[in-house]
Amino acid sequence: MQQTYALYMHKIPVGVMGASGYAGRELCALIHGHPALELAFATANSQSGTTMEVAGGARVPLIATEDAPLQKAALVFSSLPHGASATWVGRARDAGARVVDLSSDLRIGNGPAAAGIPYGLTEVRRDQVRDARVVANPGCYPTATLIGVLPLIEQGLMAPGATISVAAASGVTGAGLTPRLDLLFGEITENYRAYGVGNTHRHLNEMRALVTEVGGDVDLLFTPHLLPTARGILATITVPLVRPLTDAMAPWRDRFGAEPFIELSDAPPEVRHVNHRNVVRIHATMAAHVRTPTLLVFSAIDNLMKGAAGQAVQNANLMLGLDETLGLPR
């Protein structure tokens, strides 16, 4: 039975590994403003021994990951790079902490290490997350895409073998902090381009795996694009249906209508509607002048909030017996 920290008389100590990246910084800021959590440690090997200021004005001392006092944390967030995180997740778990892993290492569809690890798309796997010792936080593109398609698959509205086409655009923080020529200001400003073309993006693994798990016999065609903005994702999803819908929003209203972090919109969402908020905003409409009944779904998130740090805190709240919405901007 997990301990419930209901009155917040004593804040719950949590740690962040990989705190100097975009998602790690966002985590530290959310923890700083959280009424029931306190930061026990934050690690960043490249900036060990320095202090980092985060949104809200908090100054966070950084230490090397090897020096992290894992035993002092009730829960650890791992925002370490893909391929490096799984080892440290194991160490934190062995030290007695629950863990939310923001890397792709333990996500569904990413190899045998992911077996038995709940996939932390909270609105879909809430019961598994609540009792978990380790949760794999979803990627940003999968969060926007899966909330946009799962109700259609679960309700049998797509024919077997149909293809879902996803064109999703993200701000440049989705690429991380590693310096790259193609991410310099002069390369991205006043520009817009596709990347990872050919249906090869690494996030496809977890999207396909969850679609299959809920019974979908469909193909995913996913093309990401780079927006000349810091943050935000807008996905335009084209879905062939077995029949037209007289109420295009009904599948999401039936599936997610009571969810605190899913907003159903009367018009296509914009990234400015969701930035700095832990929400998915959804709109859907039937396409005109096509022979096959086709639904256009628009899904917007903040890639650093609902696509990373915000969803991680949402999962941590559940794992620690807290109100799921605590400390999260809506």
In angstroms, the CA 133 to CA 150 distance is 26
Give the CA diameter of the chain.
Answer: 63
- DSSP-derived 3-state class of residue 299: strand
Q: Which residues are catalytic?
A: 140
Q: For residue 144, what is the enclosing H or E element?
A: helix 140-154
Place of tokens 């590994």: 17
296: exposed, middle or buried (C-beta count within 10 Å: 0-12, 13-18, 19+)? Answer: middle
Two tokens, residue 18: 């990989």
What is the Cα gyration radius of the chain?
Answer: 20
Place of tokens 């969850």: 210
Alpha-carbon dihedral 287, 290, 291, 294, rounded to 10 degrees: -30
In angstroms, the CA 243 to CA 293 distance is 6
Cβ–Cβ < 8 Å for 220, 164: yes
Q: What is the DSSP letter of 5?
A: -
In angstroms, the CA 201 to CA 236 distance is 16
Whole-number Cα distances in Å, 75 to 253, 256, 259: 33, 28, 25
Residues 6+ positions from 279 with CB-CB distance below 8 Å: 261, 262, 263, 301, 302, 305, 306, 330
